[in-house]
Amino acid sequence: MKPVSDGLVVESNKTSGIVKITSTKILNQANKEIKKFEYSPNIEIKIKIDYELYEYLPGMFFGVGMRNSKREYVNGLNTKIDKFKINNQPGKYTLILTYQNPSLYKDHIYIVVGLL
């Protein structure tokens, strides 16, 4: 686990010979990396995922989950279900996923990013 700021931790599965997640960061509304997390019930959370794709991968999508301090699932998204466009041709890419007012409460939030 990599602490990103007070109250947030990002984890990602970086394993695959076809694709590699090179960076995962939490951004504020100005697309700047968060250095300090301040809880707000109407928070917008952006997750920036940098990845490298080494060969064509049809049907690829990302899953992002939020868990509380007890590791219980509290929120998440799936790029396939939520209709985010994913580049699946070889190359280096950046994907920014935005959570609009996720249902969160004041707690440590763990963000898990996975490639599916």
Q: What pLDDT is recorded for position 89?
A: 93
Q: SS3 of 86, please?
A: coil
Rounded distance, CA 77 to CA 38, Å? 22
The amino acid sitting at 58 is P
- Spatial contact of 116 and 63, defined as CB atoms under 8 Å apart: yes
d(CA 105, CA 74): 9
Domain-wise residue ranges, the chain: 2-115
pLDDT at residue 16, rounded to an integer: 64
Question: Tens place of pLDDT for every residue, the chain, 116 residues?
Answer: 343 334 444 555 555 678 888 888 888 778 888 866 666 666 777 889 899 999 898 888 888 887 878 888 887 888 888 888 888 899 999 999 887 766 666 666 667 777 76
Q: Which of 48, 56, 64 is nearest to 19 (CA)?
A: 56
CATH 3.90.1150.10 for domain 2-115: no
